């Protein structure tokens, strides 16, 4: 029954308006669809590999099809067999194509007759792009190794052979063995009281796309934060994380009131080592989060609001291919801001959006117009995660809210999540639902052509609504006075500024400042070595642009300690613009590289190569 339901859901996703080849997958889901996954894996830290088997349940749509094509990257395939309805197995012939640098290798499996299941025995490579293996020295506790996955966008194929496209959804189960005394967790039903006996089993009942497959293994403690939420983290970090994320249940309840029930039972958070390349990853039931938001004042917990919002936009309603990523990230960024407003107040929500919008408008000036579209052409799936997908997408939804009113737009958005629940869709499907259910329902407020201009053209329309903030306006005035020499740094009255206000102040600094200006600013407000990663990022960018070398010692420590791409890659990019800065950046990278995730390494190496 489950396979039939999933197959029916797949054909809804692949309706005429949605039919679109995912160029980042070799799979042919129009012929055969993966409808379930069962993993049996062993974690080997010495070999830095996962080894075992993946069993795929299949729904065949083309009666003539006799080949199953799967996505892989750097996997060693040991054998493949078909399983009949009684579970009897027989070996299959298969071939692994040459490796493409972006897509990996197509695994082509030949069948004499269509089978309900296939089982693939394999092991991963130590350099698997979706896994990071960490030595004890690279963790907070310094005693045990750590491993975690990052499957988005197309890195699941580096640790599981499967149809690695967001157009295909499936439930999964897993049996994982690993070292005793370490905890294994997955994007599934984690048991906080499970004995650390090296033998773990998991089930994810709801159908998910491959990029939401996730696993982590390490010395992990657990702290409850609510009736359906907990924090997993290394023992020395877990109390701090539980304090920072204490409002998680309040956020869940807030979002349910706005957009309907939470469909995933639990919402737990795993705080990873600092090398994690993203701020967060919305793996269902277990968000992966960066420790860089643990600043002690809950000023950066909008990250949790963002990842929680993905439980509706992204995990529940998913982009069918990566060129439509704004359907995940734009909708999520909008919902995130609504959560922040409800839990922390309109002042903080407005400040956060203004900061994001200002950064986007600066990026517009240096980004080719085709890349500014919400549905861009992509050379690499990882390039989909741009400020345009996040901020411009959210800005479009804010525009719809402003035109139609919050009450009407909230009702529409709730119906959207309900209608497309557990489906993967395209922008065109979204528009097909938007027109009769919002635009035509309230005529004369915004036309379909206006919406399409937001989506398919570059830039941001001049009439895009932007909130005002008296506090940020006052900070802008103080910044101007300081730059003009009319106010000293110590007289900026910044003692009461929150994180967002410091971000705004630093974002608005000119590219070139004198050494004296930066020195006096640091002397007054102790920005060098700031424990707040967002403030420190902006300070080190200002120092790099102005070649302020007294900041370099702390800058190097920051760049070595943190692997989150958003925080460190822009600093490398700025340093690489001058010969001496490039030399310094290469020295830092040589020391920091072993602690970076493979995705971070790729981004930094592009920056150092001038790409």
Q: Which two tokens stand for residue 384?
A: 């989909």
Tokens 């359907």 correspond to 327
Residues 6+ apart with CB under 8 A from 473: none
**Which CA distances in Å does 535 have to 341, 501, 502, 505, 529?**
22, 10, 7, 10, 10
Cα→Cα distances 125→42, 103, 146, 192, 582, Å: 13, 16, 16, 30, 32
Cβ atoms 55, 38 nearer than 8 A: yes
Residues involved in catalysis: 307, 390
Beta bridge partners of 270: 232, 288
Q: How far apart are CA 450 and CA 408, in angstroms?
A: 18
Distance CA 554, CA 167 (A): 44
| Secondary structure string (H, E, C) spanning 116-167 | CEEEEEEECCCCCCCEEEECHHHCCCCCCCEEEECCCCCCHHHCCCECCCCC
Burial bucket for residue 111 (CB in 10 Å: 0-12, 13-18, 19+): buried
H-state helical runs in 179-325: 235-244, 248-259, 302-309
Rounded to 5 degrees, φ, ψ at 343 are -95, -40
For residue 46, the 8-state DSSP code is T
Neighbours of 50 (CB within 10 A): 26
Three-state SS annotation for 332-400: HHHHHHHHHHHHHCHHHHHHHHHHHHHHHHHHHCCCCHHHHCCCCCCCCHHHHCCHHHHHHHHHHHHHH
Beta-strand relationship, 317-319 and 49-60: unpaired
Rounded Cα gap, residues 473 and 594, in angstroms? 43
What does the angle CA 549 – CA 552 – CA 556 come to, to the nearest 5 degrees?
165
User: Max alpha carbon distance in the chain (Å)?
Assistant: 83
């Amino acid at each position: 029954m489950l396979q039939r339901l999933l197959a029916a859901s797949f054909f809804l996703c692949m309706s005429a308006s949605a039919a679109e080849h995912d160029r980042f997958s070799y799979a042919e889901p129009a012929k055969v669809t993966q409808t379930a996954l069962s993993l049996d894996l062993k974690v080997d830290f010495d070999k830095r590999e996962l080894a075992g088997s993946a069993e795929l349940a299949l729904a065949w749509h083309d009666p003539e099809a006799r080949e199953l094509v799967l996505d892989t990257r750097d996997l060693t395939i040991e054998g493949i067999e078909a399983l009949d309805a009684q579970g009897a197995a027989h070996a299959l012939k298969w071939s692994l194509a040459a490796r493409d640098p972006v897509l990996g290798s197509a695994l082509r499996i030949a069948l004499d007759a269509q089978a309900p299941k296939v089982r693939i025995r394999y092991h991963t490579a130590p350099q698997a792009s979706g896994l990071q293996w960490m030595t004890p020295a690279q963790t907070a506790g310094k005693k045990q190794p750590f491993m975690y996955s990052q499957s988005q966008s197309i890195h699941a194929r580096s640790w599981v052979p499967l149809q690695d496209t967001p157009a295909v959804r499936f439930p999964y189960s897993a049996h994982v063995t690993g070292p005793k005394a370490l905890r294994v967790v997955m994007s599934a039903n984690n048991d906080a009281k499970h004995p650390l006996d090296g033998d773990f089993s998991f089930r994810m009942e709801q159908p998910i796309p491959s990029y939401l497959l996730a696993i982590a293994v390490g010395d992990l403690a657990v702290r409850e934060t609510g009736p359906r939420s907990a924090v997993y983290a290394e023992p020395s970090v877990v109390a701090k994380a539980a304090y920072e994320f204490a409002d998680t249940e309040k956020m869940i309840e807030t979002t349910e009131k706005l957009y309907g029930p939470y469909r995933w039972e639990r919402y737990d958070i795993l705080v990873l080592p600092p090398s994690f390349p993203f701020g967060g990853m919305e793996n269902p039931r277990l968000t992966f989060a960066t420790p860089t938001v643990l600043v002690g004042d809950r000023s950066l917990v909008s990250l949790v609001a963002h990842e929680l919002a993905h439980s509706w936009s992204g995990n529940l309603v998913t982009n069918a291919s990566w060129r439509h990523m704004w359907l995940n990230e734009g909708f999520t960024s909008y919902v995130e801001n609504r959560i922040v407003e409800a839990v922390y107040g309109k002042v903080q929500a407005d400040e956060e959006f203004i900061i994001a919008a200002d950064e986007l408008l600066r990026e517009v000036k240096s980004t080719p117009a085709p890349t500014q579209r919400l549905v861009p052409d992509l050379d690499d799936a990882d390039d989909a995660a741009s400020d345009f997908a996040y901020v411009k997408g959210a800005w479009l939804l804010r525009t719809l809210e402003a035109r139609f009113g919050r009450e009407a737009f909230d009702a529409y958005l709730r119906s959207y999540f309900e209608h497309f629940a557990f489906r993967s869709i395209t922008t065109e499907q979204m528009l097909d639902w938007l027109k009769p259910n919002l635009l035509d329902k309230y005529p004369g407020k915004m036309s379909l052509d206006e919406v399409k201009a937001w989506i398919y053209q570059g830039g941001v329309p001049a009439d895009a609504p932007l909130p005002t903030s008296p506090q940020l306006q006052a900070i802008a005035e103080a910044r101007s006075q300081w730059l003009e020499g009319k106010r000293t740094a110590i007289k900026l009255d910044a003692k009461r500024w929150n994180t967002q206000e410091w971000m705004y102040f630093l974002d608005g600094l000119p590219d070139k400042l004198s050494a004296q200006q930066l020195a006096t600013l640091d002397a007054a407000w102790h920005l060098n070595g700031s424990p707040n990663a967002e403030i420190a990022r902006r300070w080190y960018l200002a120092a790099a642009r102005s070649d302020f070398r007294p900041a370099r010692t702390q800058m190097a420590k920051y760049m070595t300690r943190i692997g989150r791409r958003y925080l460190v890659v822009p600093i490398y990019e700025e340093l690489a613009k001058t010969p001496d800065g490039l030399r310094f950046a290469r020295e830092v990278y040589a020391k920091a590289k072993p602690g970076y995730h493979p995705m971070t390494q790729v981004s930094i190496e592009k920056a150092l190569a001038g790409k």
